[in-house]
C-alpha cells in the first residue's frame, strides 16, 4: 500500500505543543500546529496554511522539549486523515462529520540559520558600521560576543516534575482521563476505584431490611424487594 508523503519547508510552530505521556517511551505523543504564510492576496489580506503535526516516541520527546512557539522547522511525513463526528444532525437526518488532516512526522530538522551563518552575518554588519563611522574602528567586539546559541539539556518525561510545572519542556502535558495538568493539583488516575467490600455491603443490606421490618411487620415482604445494593449506595453516599 502506498502513502502520501508530505514535505514542509520553513514552517513555524503556531502555538504551545501538547504532550501526551505514554506508559512507555514509544507511546509518547506530541501534537502541535505549524503555520506557513503564503503572502497577501489581491485584496491585501495575509494568507496562511495551518497543519497539525503528530510526533511519536523519541521524536515526541524532542518536539516537546524544543519546538516552542515561533520556532522554524522542516518536516518530512505522511499525510493522515480521520473523521470526527460533531454530534450534530443535518437537515437530511445524516450526522455532520468533519474530515481532519494531519501529518505523521517521519523526520524533522530545526530550521533557521546555523550559528556559523549568524556570526558571519553579524561580523559583516559590524565591519560596515565601522566603515560608516557608526562604530569605533578600534572596537574588538565580534559576532561571537553578541550571540549565543544553546539548548537546554534533554531529559526524559518526569511525572513528578510535570505535576509542579504542568509542562514537559515547551509543551503542556495532557494526561488521558484527567486532562491538562494544573501545577500543584493532585492528579487522580482515572481508573483508581476503591475495591468493593461485598461482605460489608451484604451486612448493611440485612441491617436495613431488619430496621424496615421492625417499623411495621407487614412491610417485611416489601422490604426484601425495596432494599437493594443501589439503595445502600444511596444511603452511603
With vertex at residue 156, the alpha carbon angle to CA 101 and CA 113, rounded to the nearest 5 degrees, is: 65
In a domain, 98, yes or no: yes
Tabulate helix, strand, coil % of the chain (nearest 5).
Answer: 30, 35, 35
For residue 37, give the CATH number of its domain.
2.40.50.140
Given a contact cutoff of 8 angstroms between Cβ atoms, the answer to whether 42 and 9 are in contact is: no
Given a contact cutoff of 8 angstroms between Cβ atoms, the answer to whether 82 and 100 are in contact is: yes
Tally of domains in the chain: 3
Distance of CA 158 to the CA centre of its chain: 15
Which pLDDT value is given to residue 235?
44
- Shared domain for 159 and 67, answered yes or no, is yes
Which pLDDT value is given to residue 234?
47
- Shared domain for 130 and 216, answered yes or no, is no
- Shared domain for 141 and 227, answered yes or no, is no
- Shared domain for 210 and 174, answered yes or no, is no
Residue with cell 503542556: 172
The H or E element spanning position 78 is strand 72-89
Distance of CA 37 to the CA centre of its chain: 24
Residues 200-207: contacts with CB within 8 Å, 24+ apart? Answer: 201/229, 201/232, 204/232, 204/236, 205/229, 205/232
Which stretch of 36-40, 81-85, 168-172, 210-214 has the lowest confidence by average pLDDT?
210-214
Cα–Cα distance, 58 to 156 (Å, whole number): 9
- The parent domain of residue 164 ranges over 5-112+151-180
Cα–Cα distance, 127 to 225 (Å, whole number): 95
- Shared domain for 88 and 176, answered yes or no, is yes
- Shared domain for 104 and 157, answered yes or no, is yes
- Shared domain for 100 and 66, answered yes or no, is yes
* pLDDT per position as a tens digit, 37-78: 888 888 888 888 999 999 999 999 999 999 999 899 999 999
- Shared domain for 90 and 45, answered yes or no, is yes
Which pLDDT value is given to residue 147?
77
Give residues with Cβ within 8 angstroms of 181, minimum separation 6: 162, 163, 166, 172, 173, 174, 175, 187
Give this prediction's pTM: 0.64
Other residues' Cβ atoms within 10 Å of the Cβ of residue 77: 22
Cα–Cα distance, 234 to 223 (Å, whole number): 16
Give residues with Cβ within 8 angstroms of 135, minimum separation 6: 126, 129
* pLDDT per position as a tens digit, 126-147: 999 999 999 999 999 888 888 7
Give residues with Cβ within 8 angstroms of 90, minimum separation 6: 96
In a domain, 38, yes or no: yes
Amino acid at each position: 500500500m502506498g502513502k502520501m508523503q508530505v514535505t514542509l519547508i520553513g514552517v513555524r510552530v503556531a502555538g504551545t505543543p501538547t504532550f501526551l505521556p505514554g506508559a512507555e517511551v514509544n507511546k509518547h505523543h506530541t501534537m502541535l500546529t505549524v503555520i506557513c504564510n503564503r503572502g497577501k492576496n489581491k485584496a491585501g489580506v495575509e494568507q496562511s496554511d495551518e497543519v497539525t503535526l503528530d510526533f511519536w516516541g523519541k521524536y515526541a520527546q524532542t518536539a516537546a522539549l524544543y519546538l516552542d512557539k515561533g520556532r522554524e522547522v522542516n518536516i518530512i511525513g505522511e499525510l493522515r486523515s480521520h473523521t470526527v463526528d460533531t454530534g450534530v444532525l443535518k437537515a437530511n437526518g445524516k450526522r455532520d462529520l468533519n474530515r481532519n488532516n494531519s501529518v505523521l512526522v517521519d523526520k524533522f530538522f530545526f530550521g533557521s540559520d546555523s550559528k556559523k551563518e549568524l556570526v558571519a552575518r553579524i561580523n559583516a554588519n559590524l565591519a560596515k558600521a565601522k566603515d560608516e563611522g557608526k562604530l569605533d574602528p578600534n572596537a574588538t567586539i565580534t559576532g561571537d560576543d553578541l550571540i549565543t546559541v544553546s539548548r537546554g539539556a534533554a531529559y526524559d518525561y518526569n511525572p513528578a516534575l510535570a505535576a509542579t510545572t504542568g509542562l514537559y519542556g515547551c509543551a503542556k502535558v495532557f494526561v488521558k482521563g484527567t486532562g491538562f495538568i494544573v501545577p500543584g493539583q493532585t492528579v487522580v488516575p482515572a481508573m483508581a476505584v476503591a475495591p468493593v467490600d461485598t461482605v460489608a455491603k451484604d451486612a448493611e443490606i440485612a441491617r436495613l431490611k431488619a430496621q424496615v421490618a421492625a417499623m411495621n411487620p407487614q412491610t417485611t415482604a416489601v422490604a426484601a424487594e425495596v432494599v437493594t445494593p443501589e439503595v445502600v449506595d444511596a444511603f452511603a453516599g
